[in-house]
Amino acid sequence: MFTLNNKIAVITGGGSGIGRAISQLFARQGAAVHIIDLDQQSAADTVTEIKAGGGTASFHPCDISKQADVKKVFESLHGLDILVNNAGIANIGKADTTKEEDFDKVVAVNIKGAYNCIHCAIPELRKKKGGIILNMASVAALSGIPDRFAYSTSKGAILAMTMSVAKDYIHENIRCNSVSPARVHTPFVDGFLSKNYPGKEAEMFEKLSKTQPIGRMAKPEEVAALALYLCSDEASFITGCDYPIDGGFVKLNN
């Protein structure tokens, strides 16, 4: 079950965190993985690890906010079966404290970047007479999170984008779903804590962990496992759905 043999998968932001876990798992399950990332070192390291384990992977440096660059990457592929829109950036601030340039950057990467990849992927998926698009949303789109105005806005757009794509391409055998994680323990979290709470990293890590009713953050591998299911043939009856993976954050927080 859940094999991806002979599948070609593009994973944006696949060099680190959740994207890295997805890239590694998809490769282990038989997919040829193409990582799109701006961080060339982390992406190269992930590709090296995948190849060392007997998998197939390559890295494409690309700014997903630029459609012409994205188009070149997709046109260079020898087919496409799966697109995982995972790349994204965060921003701290409320509506009145978020700077215009920061808001624009979040929109450019999180919203326009996902659109650019979907726009360029659809013609390639059509050639295969179907395929899968999986978007990385967030509990920030489902529940209010303090000081995450721009990020929450962008992830709300991802949810709407997912439903729109699922509706528009259902008769072309193209499925589109999204995943909404709560906090996941990635290098980004560690960097965020060291930058914003020097000397109090452990204390703040514990505090953030306990915002999930289950009492901890998710592991990137747990999100990757859900992504694998949704991109596998076993999920062929699922489209237009969002899957919270949140340790009870949305439903159990009172």
Mind listing the pLDDT tens digit of every residue in the chain (254 residues)?
A: 999 999 999 999 999 999 999 999 999 999 999 999 999 999 999 999 999 999 999 999 999 999 999 999 999 998 999 999 999 999 999 999 999 999 999 999 999 999 999 999 999 999 999 999 999 999 999 998 999 999 999 999 999 999 999 999 999 999 999 999 999 999 888 988 898 889 999 999 999 999 999 999 999 999 999 999 999 999 999 999 999 999 999 999 86
Cα–Cα distance measured from residue 155 to residue 216, given in angstroms and rounded to the nearest whole number: 22
Has 151 been annotated as catalytic?
yes
Percentage, residues of the chain above pLDDT 90: 94
Cα–Cα distance measured from residue 180 to residue 155, given in angstroms and rounded to the nearest whole number: 9
Please, are residues 183 and 205 in contact by the beta-carbon 8 Å criterion?
A: no
The CA–CA distances, whole Å, from 11 to 51, 66, 250 equal 16, 16, 26
* Residue tagged active-site, from 151, 169, 197, 229: 151
List the structure tokens of 136: 């990385």
pLDDT digits (tens, 9 = 90+) for 7-52: 999 999 999 999 999 999 999 999 999 999 999 999 999 999 999 9
Q: What is the signed CA dihedral for 209, 215, 217, 222, rounded to 10 degrees?
A: 180
pLDDT at 95: 97
List the structure tokens of 161: 């984008």
pLDDT digits (tens, 9 = 90+) for 153-180: 999 999 999 999 999 999 999 999 999 9
- The long-range contacts involving 193-199, CB below 8 angstroms and separated by at least 24 positions, are 196/92
Residue 162: other Cβ atoms inside 10 A = 25
Cα–Cα distance measured from residue 98 to residue 38, given in angstroms and rounded to the nearest whole number: 24
Q: Which residue spans of the chain are classified as CATH 3.40.50.720?
A: 8-182+220-245
List the structure tokens of 67: 């459609």
The predicted model scores a pTM of 0.96
* C-alpha neighbours within 13 Å on the C-beta side of residue 78: 5
- Domain spanning 8-182+220-245 has what CATH number? 3.40.50.720
